[in-house]
Chain A
């Protein structure tokens, strides 16, 4: 069987043993991938992610899925728009984001997510503010790293990445599990 799916990254706000995390990620894939595009973006969770109170809310962008898992204290449509905010922010930070950005800069994606959602709670929904925070961090990066950039190397690195090998039907899912209100499962 062809490897169809790959996780870009996931982030758990609820402490779960490693094996369970992997299981959850697999189940989520399974649930999300088999859904058509023209049906609703909410999925009621199976027993693994915590039963009736938990929902998977996902959005599909080209080959990427952004999935949030939330409990009933979040508004479904609200989260759907939060994903939109997150993706738009990614777009702004990476200037026209594509999945390669997300693959090769997964640490950065984490930092951006940390500005949107902190400890499982929505921290900031204002895109400009998030971008400003990220840029402040980037400035810091610049000042520390110096400007001895070697773009030639970067170009060759990108060239080496056999682009046609990423065909459309490879679903590089982007899993981003967020489970707030955790204490009861610890």
Chain B
């Protein structure tokens, strides 16, 4: 209290001073007192009602004043400020809007300023009055007074009608050349605003943005970064060429090249650094070449940001984020890890929060980091700040696996019970449900967790959770007895819940219960259907039940009725609800009535429904064949599938593609619903002695393997067991030693724990339960991606074991097909492979070489597969493993075309070839003299082409080619925007003779295989919205998928990612890095191709090429 008064008192002189200095006091004093009076009046009031009265009074007097003709602009200015105040308090002051615009139009500078401010606070983007402002803005932009120009630019960047942009755009563009730096800067931000609201209107000034980026004033450059950050976020591949510029700028900033006034707490331009780091992170994502450019500067930034100030931490955080976003470099990663440590261990809560955030981001790539900070994480779980707690849960959510799921979900539920905000509940409930479905260790736990989810999440949660859960119960998974147990347990638990008196459940939960009871209560012997019906009936009579839930309940009763022996409850129900006012309920009641009367019908209808799996659906609708034939014979047009029709439409005129975003082939694995396979797997932990022994000696965790191997003990298992024993000593596996170290530390921790307080012990205990299962993963995962998704494949791999059971020797041809350099490779690698070969089918073995090439990180070889969660997805079909294997291997050499003469005359001939390099198309023109004379003065020039980027590359790649009588020129070519074909033309100048030539380049010259994993393919697939579908009819009656894939691989340079049954997944990129993914499915004589890419034109062009290739083959 006292220091507040003191503070106010000390401020008083300042206040006087303000009035003296700023003081047009003659006009100011009455205004001051009026606004002041109003504010004081409002502050003094004690109720909302009184405030409303006062403000309404004020507003009506203002209304009278502003509309009076005698009101001067000066008075108007004061009124505006009061209006702003009233409007801020939430009262409607719309009568003053027009006057605000007038004030901006007519007033002198000061009045104009208030007018503009009022306009920008009052109006919104699509307000009709805004159009009246345009003229004023145009006038002020042309003004010679800088302040007026500034004001106009400010209001434009705040609020401007989209359709009027053309009116001011040229004026603002001019301002980019203005001599004053502040004007240029504001103009750039005004253009940014235009880019946000109408990107296509500013497309033509991209070159000017570049100029702004190179502005001599750093402030203008900083402003242009806003635009670039935005544009790069939308299309990172379009701005790769600027990477070097950004790196140079950052280098200069970090190196202290900026004037000292840009420093903040002696850190040079921190906000600029943050912005640049973000841009670099976006540019370097998944792009090794671009990333390499920035390693140095990132290192430098990390090193320089040493001061212990808030803003240096901001920079550090961005550095860490960028380092983990771009293509990984181990040294930098190490440093970043240290940084994260600094954050997490910091006593400052803000830093701790950011540390957790960084961990959450990083943990997907490197789960072992969680181990380093386990105690901190545990402490954060009990942190008084709910925000920290929530972030910790988010972190835990990312590291959940089958072993720690119980503890983590428990923690989440605890948090859930405390929080009241709807937003948090929805979010958290979704996560719990997802984890429960993915990793549930047993049925009881699963049902109980889901019960908690339904009762807490209730009616706010996402409806998908409910339908997923029901579908899971209905469809079940592989093991029928497990399914039944699950259902029985669900029924039991719901009956107990319903028996509890005076408890209210959310409607959704009741709906779940009624559905489950209706479907599965027959599984329960001791409970008769009558009793269940009685319970449901009791619920129906309750007042707190919504009519939707009632409909669910009646449906459940309907299902149970045929099983019941006595039916008076049902009859009572029918009686009551056939007169219900709700038509839906009445409908249900009548249905029930009819079924109840016709026992035969209801038996046949409802008993069958209990085994809905047995119903065979004729998906091809063959029973309609006759009808179709009849229709066709009468001249009807043959049916075309939806996408085909759409394609035809598309080709007729460029119509927009309105097809909703979605997938139709969920069966192919990567998009599949997350199956709860963990439930059945987790419950039958049946080790065998050899393996447990192995586990103890090498401390390798092989749970995944163990569970998959079942009890039967077939051939491969014994083999591998023997292999393990003999080969294990060879394993140099750093992974294993690191693990040992980990274990040692845990042991040490535990040893310390003995001497520590019991509280500490509890933490240790919690830590060991939370972080279990993370140990074997202290290796760099494939492509640095998370293993979270791999669990989804468990079900598939289980299925596959059965298959390899049938063909126990399948691994032999496969290992012989292994590339020789892999065979030469690390012993550990092979032995690890052997231990898992019952699980790995031939494809994955054959994929190993490419996988190694892909990852390109110097990680120990065994880590790639020793990781128990890394399960490569395998096709369930055993279609020609050897062909598929050879498909998945690709020729690393870059090919080249043979020389082709492009033009000649009597004395010289020019021939050219293409070399398809990994990063560009290299064109070589060689000029040969026919007469043997010297050619040193020959010159070659290429005309610029719109969408091709041609860079001369000095030096000769082909030694021996260069002789005196010949000369070659090299050009690297890149396609900037995809098109089917491009023409490159130029001329050779030799002894005053000009020889013109031109040659065609196809899109295919710029297509390179994109080597990604199936999971990444899935992610890419989902991230692209532009898709193109095409069905190609082949001449042969039956097409083999492999031949199609080979064709695509060889002729189009696509990378075959995976083969799943009769579907193939392919990926490629347009240089430099526009990816395109392709799904290919073969049925009978048709090949259905489905393209997706970030660039729609690329998909179109590629599909055109595919068609050409397929039709010629």
Contacts and interface: CB of A to CB of B under 8 A. Distances in A.
Interface in B260-314: 261-262, 264, 269-271, 274, 278, 310-311, 313-314
A33 interface: no
B146 to A, nearest CB: 8
A119 B270 contact: no
**What's the interface size class on A, roughly?**
35 or more
Contacts of B269: 125
A161 B230 CA distance: 48
Interface stretch (B187-195, B701-709, B826-834): B187-195
Contacts of A107: 81, 84, 114, 117
Contact of A101 (B18, B20, B117, B262): B18
A40 B353 contact: yes
A141 B110 contact: yes
Contacts of B423: 45-47, 51
A148 B388 contact: no
Nearest to B156: A119
B349 to A, nearest CB: 4
A158 B25 contact: no
Given A75-B274, A76-B354, A145 B24 contact: yes
B189 A167 contact: no
A38 B8 CA distance: 25
Nearest to A39: B385
Contacts of B278: 73, 75
Nearest to A48: B423
A63 to B, nearest CB: 7
A47 B423 CA distance: 6
A114 B154 CA distance: 7
A75 B110 contact: no
A70 B721 CA distance: 57
Contacts of B99: none
Contact of A151 (B16, B43, B314): B16
Interface string B18-47: 111111111111001101100110111111
Contact of A77 (B16, B39, B126, B313): B313
A43 B387 contact: yes
Nearest to A124: B219
Q: Which DSSP category, helix, strand, loop or mixed, fits chain B's interface?
A: helix
Contacts of B186: 118, 123
Given A40-B385, A107-B84, A6 B26 contact: no
A180 to B, nearest CB: 9
A163 B90 CA distance: 26
Interface string A82-101: 10010000000011111111
A104 B39 contact: yes
A164 B43 CA distance: 13
A166 B4 contact: yes
Given A81-B270, A145-B27, A168-B1, A100 B11 contact: yes
Contacts of A126: 219, 261-262, 264
A47 to B, nearest CB: 4
Interface in B66-119: 81, 84-85, 88-90, 92, 108-110, 113-114, 117
Interface string A6-17: 110111010111
Given A98-B8, A114-B154, A145-B28, A119 B190 contact: yes
A144 B125 contact: no
B14 A95 contact: yes
A42 B81 CA distance: 32
Given A122-B271, A140-B147, A41 B350 contact: yes
A85 B28 CA distance: 29
Given A7-B88, A47-B422, A140-B109, A125 B196 contact: no
B226 interface: yes
B1041 to A, nearest CB: 41
29 contacts: A9-B88, A17-B124, A36-B385, A39-B349, A40-B350, A40-B352, A40-B385, A45-B423, A75-B314, A76-B314, A82-B271, A95-B17, A96-B11, A98-B8, A98-B14, A104-B32, A104-B39, A105-B18, A119-B189, A121-B157, A122-B226, A140-B110, A140-B147, A141-B22, A142-B24, A144-B110, A148-B25, A154-B20, A167-B1
Interface of A: 2-3, 6-7, 9-11, 13, 15-18, 22, 36, 38-47, 51-52, 62-63, 73, 75-78, 80-82, 85, 94-101, 103-107, 110-111, 114, 118-119, 121-126, 128-129, 133, 136-138, 140-142, 144-151, 153-155, 157-158, 161-168, 181-183, 186
Give the 7 A-B residue pairs with the shortest CB-CB distance, closest first.
A145-B24, A119-B157, A77-B314, A98-B11, A149-B23, A39-B385, A154-B19
Interface of B: 1, 4-5, 7-12, 14-29, 32-33, 35-36, 39-40, 42-48, 81, 84-85, 88-90, 92, 108-110, 113-114, 117, 121, 124-126, 147, 154, 157-158, 182, 185-186, 189-190, 192-193, 196-197, 219, 223, 226, 229-230, 233, 261-262, 264, 269-271, 274, 278, 310-311, 313-314, 317-318, 349-350, 352-354, 384-385, 387-388, 390, 421-423, 426-427
